[in-house]
Structures are given as C-alpha cells and as structure tokens.
C-alpha cells in the first residue's frame, strides 16, 4: 500500500463507533419490548423467524438512531450529554451516519417483511420515518410538545413485534403502544428538569425551556395520572392477568408518589439537593416500564403452561 | 495515527464485518429453511394449470 492511500484514510475509525451510531441502549429497550410484543401475541411462531423478527426490528430502531445522529449533529455538539456521540466527536462523518441509517433501514424493513409479514415491515418503516423525519427533523426543534408526539416512535416496537407474530393489529397491541406513549412524557420531562441547561443551550424547545420548570412539574404529574389507567387497564385485556395487575397497581402508586414529590418541590429545593427527586423519578420510570413488560412476559409464560386464572376478568 | 495503527484498526474492522456478513448469510438461509418447513408457498400466483394455454389436440 502506498503512503498516499494511507494518508487519505487516516480518519480510519473503530467499528465500535458505528455500533454507537445505532444507540445500543435504546436498542436494548426496543429488543425487550418488541420481543415481549411478539411472545404475548396469539399463535406460535418459528423460533428462527421470531429471532430474526426481533433482530430486524432492533436494527430498524438502530437505523433511525443513526439518521437522528446525522440530522442532530449540530445540536449534539452543543449538549454535554451528547457531545461524545460519534458524529459530533468527529469519529464518524455525518454523511456516513446518514448512509448507515438509510441502508440499515432498507435492510431491516425488507428482511422483517421476508421473515414475518409485510404489515409488520410497513409498521417498522413508518416507525423509522416517524422518528427520523416527524420527530428529529420537524417536531424536536419546533414545539415543546416534541416528546409527547415523538414518543409514538418509541411506542411502536411492541406493536411491530405483535404484528410480526400475529399478522394483525388488535386492542392488546394498541394497549402496549399506549402504555409506552403515555409513559414517555413524564420520563423525558424528569430528565429535562435536571438536564435543562443542555437543552436551553442547544435551543431545543423542551417544555422546561419554553414554559419553565414549574409548568414542567405540573405536566409530569398530569401525564403520570393520565398514564395510570392505561397501565392498569392492560391487566384486563387478553395479555393481562393477576401478576400484571398487582405489579401495575404497585408501580403506578410509586410513580404517582414520585411525580407528586416532583410536583410539590420548588426550584430552590431541587437545586439544593441537585435534583435528587427528579433523578429518582427518572430511574423509577425506567424500572416501571421494564417491570410492566416483564410482567406481561410472565403472564404469557404462565398461560403457555395453562396456569391462568379462568375467572380473571377480561374487559377489553 | 501511525500506518501500523491504521492497519490494525482496518484489519479488526474487516474481520468484524466479515463475521457479520457470514452471520447474515446463515440467518437468511435459516429463515428460508424455516419458511419452507412452515409450508410457505414456493410457487407464484400463476403456477396453476391454464387450459387455454395448452395445445388443442
């Protein structure tokens, strides 16, 4: 190899940087919720096809993450939380991030269609479009309701998993969608409360920036209250049951208590302990969603062993 | 970054990419086998006998 060719490619980057383009932590949540959606759906699915479906749903999520990093490189560079991402830190060029995102979208949608069905693939395509175009390119920088509507992108994976396994959308799939959709705003606003400086520097109209922290605290409480019926209501669908019910009631009470604490606090009090309650609420929200989906998984496993309560009311 | 370091990184990247490509081939093959075993249709819509196309004896 000549010296000149070596010089021109001296920006050789480690493979790991391409992996971080896909937002692995978000992907892990997508893998989990999509897998739960797939497992709790009626009917049985070949194990290889089920594995492939979850893999390509996760890759689709990764693709939208990559497109998001390409588009948001300018604001990621300003925010402390995102400064080390591959594009703003210069490890991967913005153009490459876009190419990875586009190609991975094509591959994941096509392969999901082949492995499961084309309705699931179409839903995945819509999810990527929603996250990359509707959320990243449009809503994020234009309205304080950005994450309320943008939350839909994160809410689709269990529904895609459900459709991959069953071939159709039903009330249970919509129920899982609504659970994540309603959960997203209090989850992100709790984060925004202690990361406000970042968003304000980058000029993103988060609720904390446009309407202030007082209003955000009110919104967190209201949205947590609105989330509760969706969370507990899922217990009375075909995928719910007593385990899910008990857990959803307990977790909802904890989430409501945390949201109330955040609501009652003054900004001075929050600064004094460095947003301790807000951080706690953020962490709790992660456990909340994880445990509720784990409970759905537990219900499905019990049902597969015929260990379900026949008398459990199914309202929806 | 020295030439040697670049070579090392490039080699590592190529090996990883190679493994991913092989895994992808295995996956596509497995999907095909699974689909066939599940009784997926192997014929397109027009794979039926069409008398109008047959020669009249």
Residue position matching structure tokens 């597969």: A304
Task: Give the tokens for residue A101.
Answer: 């995102």
Residue in chain A nearest B29 by alpha carbon: A48
Domain with B35 in it: 3-53
Smallest Cα–Cα separation from A131: which of A162, A160, A91? A160
Residue in chain B nearest A108 by alpha carbon: B24
Q: Residue A13 has what pLDDT?
A: 84
Judge whether residue A247 has pLDDT over 60. Answer: yes
Chain A residue numbers with beta carbons less than 8 Å from the beta carbon of B34 are 46, 48-49
Q: Which of B31, B32, B36, B41 to mutate to test the interface with A (most CBs of A within 10 A)?
A: B31
The answer to whether residue B37 neighbours chain A at the CB level (below 8 Å) is yes
Q: Check: CB of residue A179 under 8 Å from CB of residue A234.
A: yes
Contact at CB, B17 and A14, closer than 8 angstroms: no
Lowest mean pLDDT among A83-87, A195-199, A231-235, B15-19: A195-199
Most confident of A189-198, A247-256, A259-268: A247-256
At how many degrees (to 10) do helices A24-40 and A146-166 cross? 40
Q: How many CB atoms lie within 10 A of CB A61?
A: 31
Confidence of residue A263 (pLDDT cuts 50, 70, 90): very high
Smallest Cα–Cα separation from A59: which of B32, B8, B27? B27
SS3 B12: helix
Q: Check: CB of residue A243 under 8 Å from CB of residue A298.
A: yes
Q: Residue A58 has what pLDDT?
A: 96
Q: What is the pLDDT of residues A24-56, one digit of tens each?
A: 988 998 999 999 999 999 988 999 999 999 999
Q: Which of B4, B11, B13 to mutate to test the interface with A (most CBs of A within 10 A)?
A: B13
Judge whether residue A164 has pLDDT over 60. Answer: yes
Q: Residue A11 has what pLDDT?
A: 62
Smallest Cα–Cα separation from A88: which of A41, A145, A21? A21
Q: Residue A99 has what pLDDT?
A: 96
Q: Which of A2, A3, A6 to mutate to test the interface with B (most CBs of B within 10 A)?
A: A6
Lowest mean pLDDT among A217-226, A267-276, A286-295: A267-276
Contact at CB, B31 and A49, closer than 8 angstroms: yes
> Average pLDDT over chain A, rounded to whole?
91
Q: Residue A44 has what pLDDT?
A: 85
Judge whether residue A9 has pLDDT over 60. Answer: no
Task: Give the tokens for residue B14.
Answer: 């190529």
Chain B residue numbers with beta carbons less than 8 Å from the beta carbon of A111 are 28, 31
For the segment A62-69, the average pLDDT, to the nearest whole number, is 95
Q: Check: CB of residue A260 under 8 Å from CB of residue A208.
A: no
Q: How far is B4 from chain A (nearest CA, A)?
A: 10
Which residues are CB-contacts of A122 (< 8 A; sequence separation ≥ 6)? none
Chain B residue numbers with beta carbons less than 8 Å from the beta carbon of A58 are none
The answer to whether residue B9 neighbours chain A at the CB level (below 8 Å) is yes
User: Which residues of A fall below an 8 Å CB-CB distance to B?
Assistant: 3, 6, 9-10, 12-15, 46, 48-49, 52, 55, 111, 114-115
Phi first, then psi: what are they for B49, rounded to 5°?
A: -70, 125
SS3 A11: coil
What percentage of chain A reaches a pLDDT higher than 70? 96
The answer to whether residue B35 neighbours chain A at the CB level (below 8 Å) is yes
Q: How far is B53 from chain A (nearest CA, A)?
A: 32
């Amino acid at each position: 190899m000549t010296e000149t060719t070596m010089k021109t490619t001296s920006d050789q980057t480690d493979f790991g940087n391409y992996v971080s383009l896909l937002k692995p932590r978000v992907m892990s949540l997508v893998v989990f919720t999509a897998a739960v959606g797939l497992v709790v759906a009626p009917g049985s699915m070949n194990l290889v096809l089920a594995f492939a479906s979850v893999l390509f749903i996760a890759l689709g999520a990764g693709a939208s993450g990559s497109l998001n990093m390409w588009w948001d490189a300018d604001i990621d560079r300003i925010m402390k939380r995102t400064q080390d991402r591959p594009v703003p830190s210069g490890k991967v060029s913005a153009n490459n991030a876009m190419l990875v995102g586009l190609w991975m979208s094509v591959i994941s949608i096509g392969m999901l269609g082949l492995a499961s069905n084309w309705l699931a693939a179409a839903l995945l395509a819509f999810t990527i479009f929603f996250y990359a175009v509707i959320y990243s390119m449009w809503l994020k920088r234009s309205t304080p309701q950005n994450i309320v509507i943008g939350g839909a992108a994160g809410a689709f994976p269990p529904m895609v998993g459900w459709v991959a396994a069953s071939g159709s959308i039903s009330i249970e799939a919509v129920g899982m969608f609504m659970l994540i959709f309603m959960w997203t705003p209090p989850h992100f606003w709790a984060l925004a409360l202690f990361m406000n400086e970042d968003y304000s520097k980058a000029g993103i109209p988060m609720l904390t920036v446009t309407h202030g922290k007082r209003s955000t605290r009110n919104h967190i409480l209201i949205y947590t209250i609105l989330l509760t019926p969706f969370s507990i209501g899922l217990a009375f669908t075909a995928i719910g049951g007593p385990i899910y019910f008990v857990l959803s009631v307990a977790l909802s009470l904890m989430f409501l208590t945390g949201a109330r604490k955040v609501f009652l606090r003054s900004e001075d009090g929050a600064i004094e302990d460095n947003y301790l309650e807000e951080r706690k609420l953020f962490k709790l929200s992660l456990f909340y969603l994880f445990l509720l989906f784990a409970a759905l998984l537990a219900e499905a496993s019990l049902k597969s062993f015929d260990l379900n309560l026949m008398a459990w009311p199914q309202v929806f | 970054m020295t030439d040697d370091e670049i070579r090392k990184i490039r080699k590592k990247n190529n090996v990883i990419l190679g493994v991913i490509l092989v895994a992808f081939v295995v996956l596509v093959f497995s999907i095909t086998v699974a689909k066939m075993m599940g009784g997926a249709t192997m014929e397109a819509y027009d794979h039926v006998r069409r008398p109008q196309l047959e020669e009249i004896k």
